[in-house]
Structure 1
Amino acid sequence: MQPIVTVTMNPSIDLSTAVDKVMPIHKLRCASALRDPGGGGINAARVIARLGGDVTAFYPVGGVTGQLLHKLVEEEGVRGLTYEVAHETRQSFTVDETGTGQQYRFVLPGPSFSDAEWQEALRLVADLPVASGYLVLSGSLPPGVPDGFYAEAAKRTAGRLKPVVDTSGAALRLALTHGVFLAKPNLRELRELTGQALEDDASRVAACRAVIAAGHAELLAVSLGEDGALLVGADAALRAVSPPVVASSAVGAGDSFVGALMWALAAGKPLDEAFRWAVAAGSAAVITPGTELCHKGDVERLYHQVVVQPL
């Protein structure tokens, strides 16, 4: 099992609750809140740990909420590697409206970083005591952190850690310009990257192959929501159909996908098997409430229901 390090520059404490109906002005009496550590890389690390992988989560902490975040991460069985920043770690909120089945997600921007703080983060990532393995760069970047942060992190760990990026916008484009082992855009992000409509699998695979041929990535995993996912390399293209599930919460499905995919690849599993585990984990996350992410038993059960076909 190769080691995995996740980097989360904009972590959060994720609160989730439920109410019969969301209304303005009125006080809304909510159900007891669930509280989980969050942020892209932290969520991926939680899944890797649940599946038995060797994972360390790197993230900044600030104030009382930062200390609570670190406690919650370690309670998940994840090794947390932290550093202090001046401002409070953010919180995010998910509210399930039980009367309609709708879900409302309120995402705060996160604390603003000084130049010294994000530069220190880069130094710490470059000095990670890991000789080989995977570096998962996941989630949004907080205010003050430049769009090229993930690209620079990949550059400074080149030759030791294979970079995996799961972000969007300029941060994704710049990371791809540097070159990564794997990127996980969703379909909207792939359309933005390529400027194409990408209405069918053939055009989507061709777009991924163009990104790969340009040297921007070795693998692209494209999430298609309820329609499953694609995994494309220079010599292989796989299409997965997600098993039918009753959705409870969409929170963390993509992070669960990434976590399971990296766990499987780090364990040396073949590409098609790793892809199957990833889709199973994403589906398993959808059936759990709030911000719980996927459960190992659900992932193992759904694994056998995922259909993977070559294209």
Structure 2
Amino acid sequence: MPSVSTLTLNPTIDVAYEVGQVYHTRKMRTEAEFYSPGGGGINVARVFVRLGGNARSYYASGGATGPALDGLLDLHQLVRNRIPIQGHTRVSSAVLERETGKEYRFVPQGPSFTSAEWQACLEQLAQAKGDFLVASGSLPPGVPEDFYGRVATIMATRGIPMVLDSSGPGLKGGLAEGGLFLIKPSIGELRQFVGEDLAAIEDVSEAAMAIVRAGQSRYVAVTMGHEGALLATPDGAQILPALEVDAKSAVGAGDSFLAAMVFALSCSWSITDAFRFGVAAGAAAVLNPGHDLAQAEEIRRLYPQVPQPA
């Protein structure tokens, strides 16, 4: 059975609400409250399990909100390895304004880590197992910029391919070590990494291929929202358009994309078909409001609609 370990240094309790209209100052009564465990690696684990795989979630949590996150993970029946920290686990909010269809997202920075806390994360990861290790999410304050590079070194000694989905210092530090199997930046994260606008698809392709040619990551999957996705491989770049669906929320689309792609790779699919499966999952995720992520039946329904890449 396909299996992964996931790492979420900066998890979140995701809260979704709906209101008729957003006003300043006034108290707004919400409807359709939805609470779920979140953060990149946890979201990947949720979708991976829905697809029929096994996932073990390594995550840090603490403070008054930590037990609430632990309980939400148990409700989702996820196998978990909690790394205790002193800081409060963050709470993120997404508010859907029904009148306009606009979604407002509020995401705290997250708690600061002590040196002992992030080193405890590395110690636990030394026991990780699975077809892949998926490290996803931002680096919390106090965690060194080369942290994901250190994780990559540990995974290399264990023979476990590492997948990284991060931004800013986290992405830069992970790529500096090199030898990653797959990274999945959004177009905005790739622009930040290279420091260029990447206005044309050719520019995006060249930036992604440069990472592959440098040996920093074997594959680079760039998600570009309604403009589709691009996959850079040692054999060149592939481009897929986004599927046209009735989007209700953009929350979790990238995590769903990555989970499906890694699941397919764990099932020994080709990199191209895994890329197509990821695009189907990204489309499936936006069909759902709030933080519900992609459902397995929707991913499999949409997959045949994804064309072969250009």
Q: Calculate the TM-score normalised by the size of structure 1.
A: 0.95
Partner of 1:165: 164
Amino acid at match of 2:164: V
Per-residue displacement from partner, 1:193-221 (whole Å, max 9, x unpaired)? 33444333333222222211111110000
SS at match of 1:209: helix
Partner of 1:149: 147
SS at match of 2:274: helix
Per-residue displacement from partner, 1:57-83 (whole Å, max 9, x unpaired)? 100121342222122223223211112
How does 1:195-206 map onto structure 2 within 5 Å? 195-206=195-206
Partner of 2:95: 95
8 Å CA contact 2:288, 2:294 repeated in 1: yes
8 Å CA contact 2:13, 2:38 repeated in 1: yes
2-structure distance, mates of 1:201, 1:93: 32
How far apart are 1:127 and its partner, in Å? 2.8
Partner of 1:127: 127
Q: Which moved more, 1:236-245 or 1:33-42?
A: 236-245
8 Å CA contact 1:279, 1:306 repeated in 2: yes
8 Å CA contact 2:277, 2:299 repeated in 1: yes
Per-residue displacement from partner, 1:138-195 (whole Å, max 9, x unpaired)? 0111121122111111112214211111011111011111111111112222223334
8 Å CA contact 1:49, 1:77 repeated in 2: no
2-structure distance, mates of 1:14, 1:216: 32
Partner of 2:222: 222
How far apart are 1:89 and its partner, in Å? 1.2
Aligned CA distance change for structure 1 residues 203 and 115 (closer, same or farther; 3 Å): same
Q: Root-mean-square deviation (CA), in Å?
A: 1.4
8 Å CA contact 2:209, 2:237 repeated in 1: no
Partner of 2:173: 174
8 Å CA contact 1:8, 1:59 repeated in 2: yes
SS at match of 1:91: strand
How far apart are 1:3 and its partner, in Å? 2.5
Q: Which moved more, 1:301-310 or 1:147-156?
A: 301-310
Per-residue displacement from partner, 1:106-158 (whole Å, max 9, x unpaired)? 11121111111111111111232x2x521111011112112211111111221
2-structure distance, mates of 1:111, 1:202: 39
Partner of 1:233: 233
Q: Which moved more, 1:89-98 or 1:301-310?
A: 301-310
Amino acid at match of 1:164: V
8 Å CA contact 1:92, 1:107 repeated in 2: yes
Partner of 1:108: 108
Partner of 2:134: 136
SS at match of 2:95: strand
Structure 2 residue runs of 5 or longer lacking an equivalent are none
Partner of 2:280: 280
Partner of 2:24: 24
1-structure distance, mates of 2:96, 2:197: 33
How far apart are 1:22 and its partner, in Å? 1.1
Aligned CA distance change for structure 1 residues 83 and 272 (closer, same or farther; 3 Å): same
Q: How many residues align?
A: 308
Q: Calculate the TM-score normalised by the size of structure 2.
A: 0.95
SS at match of 2:65: helix
Amino acid at match of 2:90: R
2-structure distance, mates of 1:29, 1:145: 38
Amino acid at match of 1:136: V
Structure 1 residue runs of 5 or longer lacking an equivalent are none
2-structure distance, mates of 1:16, 1:215: 40
Amino acid at match of 1:152: R
1-structure distance, mates of 2:95, 2:104: 5
**Aligned residues: percent identity?**
42
How does 1:43-122 map onto structure 2 within 5 Å? 43-122=43-122
8 Å CA contact 1:11, 1:59 repeated in 2: yes
How far apart are 1:2 and its partner, in Å? 4.3
